[in-house]
Structure 1
Amino acid sequence: MRTDVFAQRHIGITEDNISRMLKTVKAESIEQLIYETLPSDIRLKHPLGLPKALSENEYLSHLKKLSEKNKIFKTYIGLGYHESLVPSVIQRNILENPGWYTAYTPYQAEISQGRLEALLNFQSMICDLTGMELANASLLDESTAAAEAMTMLFDLRGREQKKNGSLKFFVSEEVLPQTLSLLQTRSTPLDIELVVGNHNEFQFSTEFYGALLQYPGKYGQVQDLSEFVAKAQKHDIKIAVAADILGLTMLVPPGEFGADVVVGTTQRFGIPLGYGGPHAAYFATKEAYKRDIPGRIIGLTKDMDGKPALRMALQTREQHIKRDKATSNICTAQVLLAVMAGMYAVYHGPKGLSYIANKVHASAITLASALEKLGIEQINTSFFDTITIKADASKVRPVAERNEVNFLYNNNGSISISLNEATSIHDLEQIVDIFAKSVGKDSIRIDSLSDQLAIEPNLRRTSPFLENPVFNSYRSETELMRYIKKLERKDLSLTHSMISLGSCTMKLNAASEMLPLSWAHWGNIHPFVPVDQAEGYQIVLKELEQHLSTITGFAATSLQPNSGAQGEYAGLMIIRAYHESRGEGHRNICLIPASAHGTNPASAVMAGMQVVVTKTDDRGNIDVADLEEKAELYKDRLSALMVTYPSTHGVFESSIKQITKIIHDNGGKVYMDGANMNAQVGLTNPGEIGADVCHLNLHKTFAIPHGGGGPGVGPICVSEELVDFLPGNPVIKTGGDKAITAISAAPWGSSLVCLISYGYIRMLGEKGLAQATKIAILNANYIKDRLSGKFDVLYTGEMGRAAHEMIIDCRPFKHKGIEVSDIAKRLMDYGFHAPTVSFPVAGTLMIEPTESESLAELDRFCNALLSIRQEIETSSADNPDNPLKNAPHTLEMVTNDSWDYPYTRRKAAFPLPYLHENKFWPSVRRVDDAYGDRNLICTCAPIEAYQEA
């Protein structure tokens, strides 16, 4: 074995394993298996031409050199992004800890209690600081959160108003430019009219259903918004406020002056800038809107023993349930970043946050005072961290850049300076010196920070916050380290065992891919610095775009969408823009197969399209006759087909080229959902099958970790005729010549984690990427054949092969009283996370092993399922007191003095020998979802509140 070949470290199957596995799947070679799996007419005919693979050491050296091309200036641009100090205890124990970053979305609550508690902390923090009653567990960024607020308020009040012929949403001119751009994107397909103006001059009218205000404003002015909100309430206008999270420790929270929604970012709570992301946005609202709030909510419930437990609440609100009736397509949150931000508040507590905020505020006052002594006027009358001054940018900017300092140079001729927690007195003196030189005066020495306040008395916060014990108990690093570890131990992640979720591709997130995320030259760059200061990033991002375009067979790529669902939406908005550019804006029909993921129809509706569902046949494939009939029926209005390939059923449909031709012949475009690209890379691609645009889940196929439910990245790759429409950004130019407005806040989305996918491609190289795909397919077919005869596989290709995933049918066990959920919970006792439950077919498990798992792990997983199958045989619907119905079994349950079950403790907890060596214990018994939804508690309430509920 060559120790310098990354593919041999990433791919879990060795050459020695392959021959044994081929016997199981009855194939002479991997090439035969691939031939029997992929239709021959879509196989790639030529090499992709990707760069030669680098060893891990070569890659890290390469990335180090690129990082040094980035210029780390002191940056005071603001606009929602600020340098922050990541506490080392959080960086080491969460950001750099695979126990946290390799976990999956907490759909299986019993083995996710640690992450759920950390998210409950986050929600509690947000409710306290905003003064609102309910918060979700994070969104993608501040701008998309503001857009979600606009559409939620639209759903609450706007739809009824639309009947009256007027539908307007007011946006304060103080709103961040990237947010305004994103509001333009989201409002257009919904026919919402944006009205931008000075909120102090706003003429209240029943034509408006809602408004968005910025607090403080983009140039730092803090205004009293209470009068505006009071007038809006009289006119039944709903109010959203985008608020600075650190500023809310000093400013009256929007909930106290009547806001309906408060949104923002928690980036400055210990999250690296990362050239734009990932960062956790927040969204807080009134409890009355609990069934309308987008994203995930973590709530308290009880388990089978009546003890407190956490889980995701009110899931019937979500897109995977509501599909085309959904008001949002949100699928990915920013869990890892929300956990970090929440832990920042746990570590610092209310006094620590107040200290940081006061220091930032004092720094701004001190700087303003020093500049005024130089004769430079500061124009904000009330401010928190940002001052705006009248100065000649043409004189200031060259001096600032020579001193490696960035300010915000405004279009109105003023200059804004946003200070942050990392700003020191030395930094303030440097800023003063820059301005002194620009006006030809001597600089001013600063000995200490001002003890004055620049916030009007009526705007100062008086209410307490973060009073819960969790925010007042972990001041020392020792205590916080132990608290983080206590939560980590409650969560099953890839550090424990294979997570075989179909359509989610939980593969290795290699250490060499992850290490650079902690390097300062990648982490500490503001997304709006001049691009020549981010040369290293520009090289990586452009190369990654080129590699992804090559892999998909397309002409260009945009990395801006910061989740898969955002990528879907971006792709459809580009198709919409393309049709409009040709005078065919009336094309609004989107064909979607019945088996599609719930985000597909939700995204289509958000893009202003009308969803028409096409049938699937008995084999799970698209019913081509039905598709053709509907394509021809709607040929004058056909906009797009959304198709997943291989299908959601884990099959390479042989009719795919026929399908794409039908759509093109009828004037439509083909959008391919890239959720299953792990079965395509290096063997076929969306361009080859005839698609026009696809999104890729970098957090699936390209090795970005799921982080417990986010971050995700969902870039879009497009054909030549769609390149001009790739999304832009209002601050830094991106996108095509006819760019649609922004899809996410930052120009290149979550740039920092794109380093991971860049490393994955550069270290595997073309040969390694193709081998990874082949092994993923081999592993899936190996599991399928090992389970054969005990579990029915619902769908296979024409030669009996699965793609990279397969669906096993658990419905035949109902006569034994066993549901698919019982199998999912029992797998926890065997140390495994359940595969995807009841999607795309109710009562089934969708299994995807990926290429990273070893043969020993595949066998362990198969043995667990086969053991459970034997348990099903001995179960009876007449006697539900069995290991499956009682699963999962906790340590407390098994070690209890009494044991009243008709099977042994060993059978409950140690059904197979390997568990004696490495046992993972679920921390709660099966949770009661319905109880939690009836008695909604979504903050860190004391136990008494739970007991009263």
Structure 2
Amino acid sequence: MRYVPHTKEEIKAMLEAVGLRNVDELFSDIPTEALLKRHLQVEGGWDEEQLRAYFRKAASGIPDANSAVYFLGGGVYDHYVPSAVDKIIALPEFYTAYTPYQAEISQGTLQAMFEYQSLICELTGMEVANGSLYDGASAVAEAVLMAMRINGKRRVVVSECVHPDIIEVLRTYQLGQDFEILTLPQKEGVTDLSELEDLSNVSCLVMQNPNYYGFLENMTQASALIHKAGGLFVAAVDPLSLGVLKSPHEYGADVVVGEGQSLGNHISYGGPHFGFFATKMDYIRYMPGRMAGQTVDVDGRVGYVLTLQTREQHIRREKATSNITSNHWLMALASAVYLSLMGGSLPELGQTILNRSTYLAQKLASVGYPLWQRQYFFKEFPIKARDAEAVQEALADSGYYVGPVIDEHTLLVAVTEKRTREHMDKLIELMEGLR
């Protein structure tokens, strides 16, 4: 029998309760030009082989990281993923990555979550971490909400050097919350800390390191300034940079968040990824999401439980710290496997990335593509070009992908450990030919 979620009478009653006449009014925020003004033209059903053939044909002309060379940056990076990562997360035991409600039958998932949290704490230098969030951008937004819960202040300062998508997500969160966002301008590609004025009513300062342009920020100075004013410091970081840069704990971060894609997750058309979130023990009960803890049972055997789960599905909505649910746990599990395999090599890996990106930046400058600004960077950097989009398109025709484009004369170039000397020298040759 057909499933109908709501009867006409129920729909009418709900619309009347919110003062609307019809369903169209409920979706009035959608621009009329975006609405389809005809019935869907759907053909008859296909069998499985027809469907496979269709998608094989559709995908045949699309370049991927196996057939093209990626120097793409801006938040998603072509890093090496050990084969063991995919093998382990494909085990049937991990197929269902949802909330482990029944601890007694979820010990494997809970232990893996506990290990993941421990690895994130070791990586960032922080005291506690949750069981992951949806992505790096929502992790920043959740950190801001947490800061406001802690100190009750409703003003937030965000550097303009934070990824623009993160800022947009933060503004989306702002729609349902009563707080003000102030932006801190950039100067020569890094945050202009001299523009910080009265911080007495500021809940937190949000900065990214390396920032959107790949440049390194003065996180120590920023941390000292916001702490002097009684606010919290939220640091959004690239986890792989922590093999060669100071840990957020060392420069006094109160909350450390970031995008975890580079930790054993494939590019995958831009997702799904996950966000990591770590903080100080003092703030553990303000933390969003869930947290697995280690305990012992009545017989003294080690066991794992959800120690904290202060989300609206578990407790009263007005007391909940967030509505984070499935938390992209399978992606976080991939990062735990990756860190278990590669964690000890992060300093070497970070140095490799730093050396290769420095080599490419110097060579590109020598053929007419100088750095946008003279700053220290990690993994990616912005270069000047006469016509950034034209350069990007011409390189794509040769199977080399760079970007994103920052403005008419600037584009980002990212270098991971997968980019060989041969790749870089070919890119230099191609770009020199475009001058």
TM over 0.5: yes
Partner of 2:166: 179
Number of residue-to-residue matches in the alignment: 394
Partner of 1:327: 321
Tell me if 1:70 matches 2:65: no
| Residues 613-652 of structure 1 mapped to structure 2, 5 A cutoff | none
Aligned counterparts of 1:299 and 1:61: Cα–Cα separation in 2:
47
Task: Pick the aligned partner of 1:219 from 204, 213, 223.
Answer: 213
Helix, strand or coil: the match of 1:259? coil
Structure 1 residues 380, 243: closer, same or farther in 2, change over 3 A? farther
Partner of 1:84: 79
Aligned counterparts of 1:222 and 1:286: Cα–Cα separation in 2:
24
Instruction: Give the drift of 1:316.
Output: 4.5
Aligned counterparts of 1:119 and 1:302: Cα–Cα separation in 2:
17
Structure 1 residues 38, 127: closer, same or farther in 2, change over 3 A? closer
Partner of 1:438: 434
Partner of 2:228: 234
Instruction: Give the drift of 1:122.
Output: 1.4
Instruction: Give the drift of 1:49.
Output: 8.0
Partner of 2:53: 61
Partner of 2:93: 99
Query: What is the RMSD of the two structures over their aligned residues, measured on CA atoms?
Result: 2.5
Aligned counterparts of 1:217 and 1:287: Cα–Cα separation in 2:
27
Partner of 1:144: 138
Helix, strand or coil: the match of 1:354? helix
Partner of 1:583: none
Which residue identity lines up with residue 87 of structure 1 in the other structure? Answer: P
Partner of 2:422: 426
C-alpha contact 1:146 1:242 (8 A) present in aligned 2: yes
C-alpha contact 2:74 2:403 (8 A) present in aligned 1: no
Task: Pick the aligned partner of 1:364 from 341, 357, 382.
Answer: 357
Partner of 1:112: 106
Partner of 2:188: none
Aligned counterparts of 1:400 and 1:182: Cα–Cα separation in 2:
31
Structure 1 residues 125, 190: closer, same or farther in 2, change over 3 A? same
Aligned counterparts of 2:137 and 2:251: Cα–Cα separation in 1:
22
Helix, strand or coil: the match of 1:182? helix
C-alpha contact 1:302 1:308 (8 A) present in aligned 2: yes
Higher alpha-carbon Rg: 1
Aligned counterparts of 2:45 and 2:334: Cα–Cα separation in 1:
34
Aligned counterparts of 1:174 and 1:228: Cα–Cα separation in 2:
13
C-alpha contact 2:295 2:302 (8 A) present in aligned 1: yes
Instruction: Give the drift of 1:78.
Output: 1.6
Partner of 2:32: none
C-alpha contact 2:73 2:402 (8 A) present in aligned 1: no
| Residues 848-927 of structure 1 mapped to structure 2, 5 A cutoff | none
Helix, strand or coil: the match of 2:360? helix
Partner of 1:349: 343
Partner of 1:804: none
Instruction: Give the drift of 1:99.
Output: 3.0
| Residues 622-701 of structure 1 mapped to structure 2, 5 A cutoff | none
Instruction: Give the drift of 1:157.
Output: 1.2
Aligned counterparts of 1:316 and 1:263: Cα–Cα separation in 2:
19
Aligned counterparts of 2:98 and 2:394: Cα–Cα separation in 1:
48
Structure 1 residues 126, 318: closer, same or farther in 2, change over 3 A? farther
Aligned counterparts of 1:52 and 1:326: Cα–Cα separation in 2:
47
Helix, strand or coil: the match of 1:212? strand
Tell me if 1:157 matches 2:151: yes
C-alpha contact 1:380 1:387 (8 A) present in aligned 2: no
Instruction: Give the drift of 1:141.
Output: 0.5
Identity of aligned residues (%): 33
Question: Residue deviations 1:19-72, cap 9 Å, x none?
Answer: xxxxxxxxxxxx6xx79x997989xxxx99855443333333322222224233
Structure 1 residues 253, 38: closer, same or farther in 2, change over 3 A? closer
C-alpha contact 2:110 2:292 (8 A) present in aligned 1: yes
Partner of 1:189: 176
Helix, strand or coil: the match of 2:433? helix
C-alpha contact 2:402 2:412 (8 A) present in aligned 1: no
Question: Residue deviations 1:455-514, cap 9 Å, x none?
Answer: xxxxxxxxxxxxxxxxxxxxxxxxxxxxxxxxxxxxxxxxxxxxxxxxxxxxxxxxxxxx
| Residues 196-207 of structure 1 mapped to structure 2, 5 A cutoff | 196-198=183-185, 199=191, 200=193, 201-207=195-201
Task: Pick the aligned partner of 1:170 from 129, 153, 157.
Answer: 157
Aligned counterparts of 1:374 and 1:40: Cα–Cα separation in 2:
68
Question: Residue deviations 1:243-270, cap 9 Å, x none?
Answer: 0010111110111111111110111112
Question: Residue deviations 1:534-565, cap 9 Å, x none?
Answer: xxxxxxxxxxxxxxxxxxxxxxxxxxxxxxxx
- State which drifts further: 301-310 or 76-85: 76-85
Aligned counterparts of 2:54 and 2:96: Cα–Cα separation in 1:
25
Task: Pick the aligned partner of 2:304 from 306, 310, 319.
Answer: 310
C-alpha contact 1:295 1:318 (8 A) present in aligned 2: no
Helix, strand or coil: the match of 1:206? coil
Structure 1 residues 303, 206: closer, same or farther in 2, change over 3 A? same
TM-score, length basis structure 1: 0.40
Instruction: Give the drift of 1:134.
Output: 0.7
Structure 1 residues 194, 40: closer, same or farther in 2, change over 3 A? closer
| Residues 698-709 of structure 1 mapped to structure 2, 5 A cutoff | none
Partner of 2:397: 402
Instruction: Give the drift of 1:103.
Output: 5.3
Q: Which runs of 5+ in 1 are unaligned?
A: 1-30, 162-166, 440-949
Partner of 2:34: none
Aligned counterparts of 1:332 and 1:119: Cα–Cα separation in 2:
13
Which residue identity lines up with residue 235 of structure 1 in the other structure? Answer: A
Tell me if 1:414 matches 2:410: yes
Structure 1 residues 195, 94: closer, same or farther in 2, change over 3 A? same
C-alpha contact 1:76 1:408 (8 A) present in aligned 2: no
Aligned counterparts of 1:331 and 1:88: Cα–Cα separation in 2:
28
Which residue identity lines up with residue 63 of structure 2 in the other structure? Answer: K
Question: Residue deviations 1:72-115, cap 9 Å, x none?
Answer: 343333222111232222213323x3332235421111222222
Helix, strand or coil: the match of 2:250? helix
Aligned counterparts of 1:141 and 1:348: Cα–Cα separation in 2:
22
C-alpha contact 2:289 2:309 (8 A) present in aligned 1: no
C-alpha contact 2:206 2:236 (8 A) present in aligned 1: yes
C-alpha contact 1:221 1:380 (8 A) present in aligned 2: no
Tell me if 1:259 matches 2:246: no
Question: Residue deviations 1:304-329, cap 9 Å, x none?
Answer: 21211111112356543121332311
Task: Pick the aligned partner of 1:268 from 256, 262, 266.
Answer: 262
Aligned counterparts of 1:68 and 1:434: Cα–Cα separation in 2:
25
Between Structure 1 and Structure 2, which shows a larger proportion of strand residues? 2
Aligned counterparts of 1:40 and 1:104: Cα–Cα separation in 2:
33
C-alpha contact 1:139 1:334 (8 A) present in aligned 2: yes
